[in-house]
Amino acid sequence: MHAKSEANKANSFSTERTFDAPRELVWKAFTEAERLAKWWGPKGFGMVVAKLDLRPGGTFLYGMKAPDGNMMWGKFVYREIIPPERMDFVVSFTDEHGTPTRHPLSATWPLEVFNTATFSEHEGKTTVSMTGYPINASAEEIETFAAGRESMNKGFAGTLDQLEAYLASCK
C-alpha cells in the first residue's frame, strides 16, 4: 500500500456498538431496504431508499429529508460483502441520481470515504464495528475529515440509537 493510502487510514474514524439482537437480524437491518428506511441517517431526518443492489459493485442510493424540508442524497458502492460478517463500501454524497457531489455543508469534505462494517455475535448480542477513511482525497480533504470526528461521533451515535430502537421493536 502506498504512503498516501496509509496516511488516509491513519486519519480514520471508528465507532462500535453492541446490540441486544442476533447477528442475522442486525445484518438484515443493514442490508434490506425496508429495514434501512426505518433507522439509517441522522435523528429527526426522514429516509428514502431509492435503490438497494446488495452485491459487489452494487449501490445503496438514499435520500435524507431534514426537518427543514431540505433533501440530502448519498450512496454506498459495495466493494465486498461477506454475509453476515462484513461489508466494505465507499460512501459519497450525491445528487438524486447518484452522481457524486460535494457535502452540502462542506466544500472540502472528501468525495469518497471507504468504510468497513463488521458484525460479530456473542451470546445473542451483536457488536457492529465501523471504520471509515477518505480515499482519493487531497491533503485538505483528509484534514477536514479528521477535524470532523466530533460531528461524526454525534451523528453515528444518533443513527445507532435509531438502529437500537428499531431492533428492540423487532422483538
Check whether 145 has a pLDDT greater than 70. yes
**Is 138:19 a contact under the CB 8 Å cutoff?**
no
85-127 pLDDT tens trace: 999 999 999 999 999 999 988 999 999 999 999 999 999 999 9
Q: What pLDDT does residue 100 have?
A: 95
Give the CATH superfamily of 3-42+81-91+104-169.
Answer: START domain (3.30.530.20)
Percentage of residues in the chain having pLDDT higher than 70 = 95
Highest mean pLDDT among 39-43, 57-61, 64-68: 57-61
The model scores a pTM over 0.85: yes
* Burial class (CB within 10 angstroms; exposed 0-12, middle 13-18, buried 19+) of 110: buried
Rounded CA separation 165/20 (Å)? 10
Domain locations in the chain? 3-42+81-91+104-169
